């Protein structure tokens, strides 16, 4: 049975457009794409290249970390200004 390993990705929008993608479990893995779809595909390729490089250098695969949770909290502008 082939087990699956997943990696969290962080997509940071760039001012000039597109997204920079980082992989917290693989700090050296950073890529970019002009669209979300391109960035996702580039991230997949970058992860495979980073893992291949680790394997060639005798390094272990990264351990699967607990899943990150992304959330947001909404404030009204008035609420923010009254507490500033």
- Cα separation of 40 and 16, whole Å? 18
- Cα separation of 20 and 53, whole Å? 21
Asked whether residue 1 is assigned to any structural domain, the reply reads no
Confidence of residue 84 (pLDDT cuts 50, 70, 90): low
Asked whether residue 25 is assigned to any structural domain, the reply reads yes
Q: Which domain holds residue 64?
A: 10-82
- Cα separation of 39 and 14, whole Å? 12
Indicate the pTM of the whole model: 0.77
Give the chain's domain count: 1
Could you read off the pLDDT of 53-78 as tens digits, one per residue? 999 999 988 876 677 778 889 999 99
- Cα separation of 67 and 26, whole Å? 14
């Amino acid at each position: 049975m082939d087990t699956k390993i997943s990696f969290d990705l962080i997509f940071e929008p760039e001012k000039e457009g597109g997204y920079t993608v980082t992989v917290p479990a693989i700090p050296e893995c950073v890529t970019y794409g002009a669209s979300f779809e391109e960035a996702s595909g580039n991230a997949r390729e970058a992860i495979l290249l980073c893992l291949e490089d680790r394997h060639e250098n005798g390094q272990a695969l990264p351990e699967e970390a607990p899943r990150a949770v992304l959330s947001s909290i909404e404030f009204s502008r008035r609420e923010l200004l009254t507490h500033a």
